[in-house]
Amino acid sequence: MDRYGYSIFCDDIRNEVSGKLSFIGCYNSVMFVPDSFPFVLPKFCVHLHILSPATRPFKLITARVYIPGHDEPIVTERIEAPAPAVQDRLIDELGDVPATPKFIVAAASLIFAPLRVEAPGLISVRALVDDSVDELKIGSLRVSVAP
C-alpha cells in the first residue's frame, strides 16, 4: 500500500469545545470568484490528512501549498508526525483484525488570512514525506471566474 492524502478547502475551521472540528464554507471542486484578478479572500483554510501504512511509519512531513501565478509554494509547513513509539502503540491497540488495513494518520490545518489569488488556476496541496523527493499530491481546488 502506498501513502496518500486528501484536503478540505474552506472559509474557516473552528475548534469546538468537544474537540471536534467544524469546517465552514467548504468548496467542492471549484472556487468561483468575481470576474477580476487579483482577488483577495479575507480568510482561506486547508485541512489536510496524510495516511501511511503502519508498515511505513512517518518520520518527517512537510506540507506545501501552491497558488496560481506562483511557481514556488506560498507556504512550506512542517507537520508533526506522531513519535515512532506512539505510532507503534496505536497499531498495537488495533489488534489483529483480519482484512483491515492499518494506517497512521497525520493531520494539520493551514490558515491564510488574507489570501491573494493572482490568476485563475489550481490551488494545490502537496507533501514531502520522510526522505522522498517526490511530492505527494493531497488535493487541489480550481479557481475560476464565476460563469
Predicted confidence at residue 62, as pLDDT, reads 95
Higher per-residue pLDDT: 36 or 1: 36
**What is the residue extent of each domain of the chain?**
4-145
Domain 4-145 has CATH 2.60.40: yes
Give me the chain's average pLDDT, please: 90
Q: Residue 123 pLDDT > 70, yes or no? A: yes
Asked if 65 and 125 touch (Cβ cutoff 8 Å), the reply is yes
Query: What stretch of H or E contains 111?
Result: strand 103-112
**pLDDT for 2-25, tens place per residue?**
899 999 999 999 999 999 999 999
Predicted confidence at residue 98, as pLDDT, reads 63
- What's the rounded mean pLDDT across residues 60-82? 92
The 3 state secondary structure assigned to 5-55 is: EEEEEECEEEECCCCCEEEECCCCCEEEECCCCCEEECCEEEEEEEEEECC
